[in-house]
Structure 1
Amino acid sequence: MEMGHGNELEEELQEKPKPTLQFETKDIIFSVVSILIAFFALEMIVQNRGGVWVTLLTGIFCLAVFIYGKSQKLTMKWYHFGFMAFNLLLGISFSLFENKLLLGTNGLFLFMSCMYWVLVLSGSRRTGRLDDQLIFDYLDGFLLRPLKDFSASFSIYQSIGKGNKNLKYMLAGIAVSLPVVLVVVSLLAGADTMFDHFIYQLVGSISENVMENLITFIFAVPIGFYLFLCIYRNMKKSQVRHFALPLLKGPDVLFWTILTIFISIYLLFFGTAIYGYLSFSKGSFAGQSLSDYAREGFFQLLAVALINVLIFGVINMFSSNSKGIKVGLTLIGVETLGLVVLGLAKMKLYIDSFGLTVLRFNTSWFMLLLFVCVCVFIAALWQQFNYLRLIVLLLGSCMLFFSFRNSGKEIINYNYEHYQQGNLSELDVSVFYTLGVAAVPDAVKIYEETDDVYLKEELENYFWMMKAYVEDTPGKINLQRSQAMTLIEKTLS
């Protein structure tokens, strides 16, 4: 009986076919396009390109995904086009502005936004909207789905030539002949000088960096294929085992104890900080300058504010969200706002003493955004709404705003105005170098207005450095660079 039962089970397993992926011609074509997109992206990084190339790559990616989505019979809704428009606008900003002020965050944000658009377009998000499942949507879409049945994915190219066997034989013939052809051509080149010269010219006309391009392509194949799987599996809505944190609710007494400790510490801090500020304003600390007071403790305040946001989030996630806990979280949220305001006040004093730099400008804006985010968190405690979507939309709007705005101009103008008024002892030309070509128009204006010989000399050095920088990086093409070069050549001549 046992043997019979075992045979039946074995036959049942043999009859049940293993699941296979059914790839179509459009899938094969799109996989090749994905590899080419990865190749051009790597080329852009290796060749130190940017500007127009980022815009073109963004456009090609959006167009390719859009066409592939249409071929998969996906229903296009208005917000699909909204996300795509945001990606294209952010991509276009690279063709217009250098945007060194953003320190590369715009490129990272563009990449994350393009990939999230894939999730939106394919309808593979857990809840079908932008909410607190954002991180898990990324994990599901770009880690779990692509890696599921990964080995079976390589069967995609087995369908090539099914309808036409001659095509498969032709490709096989090329693959077999290629290594032998390379050996034969090499031997013939060694046998005849004219043939060797002809082959050298031919290879040179195809590419000056064949080996470099070949290595780049080798790396692009797995990256591009993985990109294809990310898009293909999401559009097919491949089922995955969703990862979720075990939300274990702790006792309110534990969280109230934690909140009480931190609330008390911050109340004590605010008391002494206010007393110290009043004493300083009355001149009690004669040995301490305004600049020293402004410089002291700003980044510590920023770090504490971020720790508070972490505490806020953890307790909100693992507590029972009773009214008492909400009151405690509101108090620590308000104290966090106080820390942010105090940090901004210190930063303002520091800027008034030493002027604006890229770091000070970015940090100030970051703290303003942090202030708004904490306000949203506090409001979400008492009123249920999709707070994460609001925060992401705010961050996206700010990123787009700064990508299309020459904020470097504001930094230069602020410093120059305060320098003319005597509030700054010198104009920090190093800021011009940090901003790159974005500072050229204002630098030219200052160069023509100032009578300070030393400042003129420093600005001339800046112009020569920017001219050399633009000439050494011809792959970075944008409108701001072109205009800057025209101004530099006109000024130096």
Structure 2
Amino acid sequence: MKEKLESRYGYFMISSIIYGFFFTFCLYRNLHGITLPFWVAGTLVYFILAFRQLELKIKKDTVFYAAAALLLGISSVLTDDLFLHFFNMAGILLLLGVSLLHQMYEERKWGFGRFIMNISTFFWDIMESIALPFSQTGKFFKKKSGQENKKLKYVLLGILIALPLFLIVVLMLVSADRIFYEMVSKALSYIRIDMNIVFIICMIFLGIILIYAAVGGLVNYRLKEDQPACKNQEPIIAITFTSILCAVYLIFCGIQVVYLFAQGVTGLPGDFTYAEYARRGFFELLFVSILNFAMVIICNTFFRDHKALKVLLTIISVCNYILIASSIYRMILYVAVYHLTYLRVLVLWFLILLAFFMAGALICVYRSKFRLFFYCMIVLTIGYLGFSFARPDYLIANYNLAHMEVMHIDDIHYLMNSLSDDAAPAIAKLDPENIEGASRVYSDAFSFDAQQTRKMEFYDYFYKLDEKYQSSWRKYNFSEHKAQIAAVQYLEKHEEDKKLLKTDFN
């Protein structure tokens, strides 16, 4: 496979150069604009053409990974959430990596751990292949010339030696003589370097090197396709520690069913508030749920089959569902009183995802050939796509505003300052006159009454929002555009607030 890459150097280098320009056009200072899904599509096209050059047939499952990566790119254009932007990009790279591995290897025999190890090795191979375009370019020109031009080699070596010496000598002489310093300063003043051009050139080279290195890492072909025999540990060890844990879980889960789920809110201990009850138990249960998922996978991977062990792992899995349900219920109790935040939504989403992961782990207990990693990838991809397209910031703002009996300015501060501009259309529906409290920022700086401070804070928020988005079509983002429309409509509707505030300033 390496020989095919080297023999088709001309094609891969030219296509990589074209990709480098395309990569820069789409992503230069623009990681969530309209060009992002086009970059994903362009990258997929590059690899499809590369597979043809390497005489590889596109496999069926690759279509799923490619479609999911493209949907993540579209999702980034629909939100202003930086958290989603980061994980969308990470998800795109992960899906591309998994799809490339799927193309090159028969990974059906890989277990969960082997898949994690191999995908990590693949990304490491890409890093190791960064020098590949340079080495293959050198070989290409060496073949073309027929013999190495030694004189040119010596000239280039001399230039490389001269560069650091030149800089050191000039710096010393500049500090030694004032006239020489002024002469050098005057000469440098005529040299104007636009840093944008420098960054663009660097990004073009980065795109060329990374895409060529990705192909190089792909054809390295050093991953082991066979799953090593590791299911050889004595099952009595696992039976012993899982039986002890099962006893603890059964007692705890019995308490949850009888006390928490049966009595609900009225069953809360008298000394506990909602916050204390939910938070004190929630994170511990979340940790134990993740631990149980890992334990079932480890026991099923490393210990020999045994009926008693399968029964115990099944009991742990069922108990884990009760722990997950308890965690979700505790969080619902908390949200019912204190409303939603980004972290609470994220945790609820993860718990639902963990329940699906647990189902896959339980299937593995009885079906050893079940492709757990592939199953988890599908669940994670679909679950994350749903989370990303839902635009959680907008949902949080809508939910909180609909369920707050009394809205205080501090609650609005969270929506304005802690959430992304996805929340702006929901905030724009509010009227500052229907909110309680005074804005501390403006009441401390000016002698306004509480209502005026609220009006000023709202007007200032939407004014800055309107001024914020004055970018080119390349950086167009649907959510930012929607937020700007909401800002313009709010400013037009509350034009009198601007006049009032100007009067107060005077």
TM interval, shorter chain, is 0.7 to 0.9
1:29-178 aligned at under 5 Å gives the runs 29-30=14-15, 32=17, 44=28, 47=29, 49-100=31-82, 102=84, 104-121=86-103, 123-127=104-108, 133-143=114-124, 147=128, 154-161=134-141, 165=145
Asked if residue 337 in structure 1 is aligned to residue 321 in structure 2, the reply is yes
Amino acid at match of 1:408: D
CA contact (8 A) 1:467 1:485 kept: yes
- Cα drift, residue 64 of structure 1: 2.1
Verify: 1:26 aligned to 2:11, yes or no.
yes
Q: 1:126 to 1:285 in 2, by over 3 A?
A: closer
Q: Secondary structure at the match of 1:446?
A: coil
Deviation at 1:344, TM superposition (A): 0.4
Structure 1 CA distance, aligned partners of 2:308 and 2:33? 53
> Is the Cα–Cα contact under 8 Å of residues 416 and 427 in structure 1 kept in the other structure?
no
CA shift digits 1:221-250 (9 cap, x unpaired): 5x854652332352x463455696661522
Counterpart of 2:238 in structure 1 is 255
Q: Does 1:315 align with 2:310?
A: no
Residue 356 of structure 2 aligns with an amino acid whose one-letter code is V
**Structure 1 residue 328 displacement after superposition:** 0.4
Residues of 2 paired with 1:20 and 1:82: CA distance?
27
Amino acid at match of 1:342: S
Change (3 A) 1:459 1:134: farther
Amino acid in the other structure paired with 1:373: F
In 1, Cα distance between equivalents of 2:23 and 2:128: 18
Q: In 2, Cα distance between the equivalents of 1:425 and 1:301? A: 34
> Which residue identity lines up with residue 72 of structure 2 in the other structure?
L
Deviations 1:182-241 (A, max 9, x none): x9xx99x969x9x988x64xx55xx34455567x459x65x854652332352x463455
Structure 2 counterpart of 1:382? 366
CA–CA separation in structure 2 for the residues paired with 1:147 and 1:402? 35
Q: Output the CA distance in 2 between the equivalents of 1:280 and 1:65.
A: 55
Deviation at 1:264, TM superposition (A): 1.4
Amino acid at match of 1:335: C
Partner of 1:403: 388
Structure 2 counterpart of 1:487: 486
Q: Does 1:270 align with 2:253?
A: yes
The answer on 1:361 being equivalent to 2:345 is yes
Alpha-carbon distance in 2 for matches of 1:342, 1:355: 18
Q: Alpha-carbon deviation of 1:116?
A: 2.0
8 Å CA contact retained: 2:132, 2:213: no
Residues 44-65 of structure 1 show CA distances to partners (whole Å, capped at 9, x for unaligned) of 4xx4753235334323322222
Q: Which amino acid aligns with 1:412?
A: A
Distance 1:281 1:142 in 2: 49
State the distance in 1 between where 2:203 and 2:120 align.
27
Check the 8 A contact 2:123/2:217 in 1, yes or no: no
> Could you say which residue in structure 2 is the equivalent of 1:4?
none
Post-superposition shift, 1:291?
Answer: 3.5
Gaps of 5+ in 1: 1-18
The CA distance in 2 between the partners of 1:84 and 1:280, in whole Å, is 45
Are the counterparts in 1 of residues 126 and 216 from structure 2 also a CA contact under 8 Å? no
Aligned to 2:331: 347
Letter of the 1:392 counterpart: M
Give the distance between the partners of 2:255 and 2:485, measured in 1 at CA.
55
C-alpha distance 379-128 of structure 1, shift in aligned 2 (>3 A): closer
Residue 350 of structure 1: CA displacement?
0.4
Alignment partners' CA distance in 1, 2:43 and 2:327: 41
The DSSP-based 3-state class of the residue aligned with 1:353 is helix
Partner residue of 2:441?
A: none
Work out whether 1:392 is the aligned partner of 2:354: no
Give the counterpart of 1:298 among 273, 278, 282: 282
Matches of 2:5 and 2:372, distance apart in 1: 39
Matching residue's letter, 1:255: A
Instruction: Please tell me the residue identity of whatever aligns with 1:67.
Output: L
Contact 2:342 2:392 (8 Å CA) reproduced:
no
Aligned mates of 2:487, 2:323 — CA distance in 1 = 44
Residue pair 2:321, 2:355 contacting (<8 A) in 1 also: yes
Number of residue pairs the alignment of both structures matches: 455
Look up the equivalent residue of 1:478 and give its one-letter code. N
In 2, Cα distance between equivalents of 1:353 and 1:103: 30
State whether residues 124 and 141 of structure 1, in contact with CA within 8 Å, keep that contact through their aligned partners in structure 2: no
Matched, 1:286 2:234: no
- Verify the 8 A CA contact 2:5 2:54 in the aligned structure 1: no
Displacement after TM superposition at 1:483 (Å):
2.3
Q: Which amino acid aligns with 2:382?
A: S
Displacement of 1:284 in angstroms is 7.6
RMSD: 4.6
Change (3 A) 1:177 1:37: farther
Q: Deviations over 1:92-150 (max 9, x none)?
A: 222232244637322211111122222234x33444899774224314533358749x9
Structure 2 distance, partners of 1:33, 1:313, is 45
Cα offsets for 1:394-446 (capped at 9, x unmatched): 211122223333333322221111114x6999745413433311011111112
Return the alpha-carbon distance in structure 1 between the equivalents of residues 418 and 76 of structure 2: 18
- 1:480/1:21 CA distance change after superposition, 3 Å: closer
Whole-Å Cα distance in 2 between the matches of residues 151 and 417 of structure 1? 56
Change (3 A) 1:480 1:178: farther
Counterpart AA for 2:241: I
Give the Cα–Cα distance (whole angstroms) in 1 for the partners of residues 4 and 361 of structure 2.
Answer: 46
Q: Which ranges of structure 2 fall in alignment gaps of 5 or more residues? A: 171-179, 437-450, 493-506
CA contact (8 A) 1:436 1:466 kept: no
Match of 1:326 among 310, 318, 321: 310
Is residue 414 from structure 1 mapped to residue 396 from structure 2 by the alignment? no
Q: For the residues of structure 2 that align with 1:354 and 1:434, how far apart are their CA atoms?
A: 16
d(CA) in 2 for partners of 1:394 and 1:356?
A: 24
CA distance in 1, matches of 2:126, 2:76: 32
Change in CA separation of 1:115 and 1:190 when aligned onto 2, cut-off 3 Å: farther
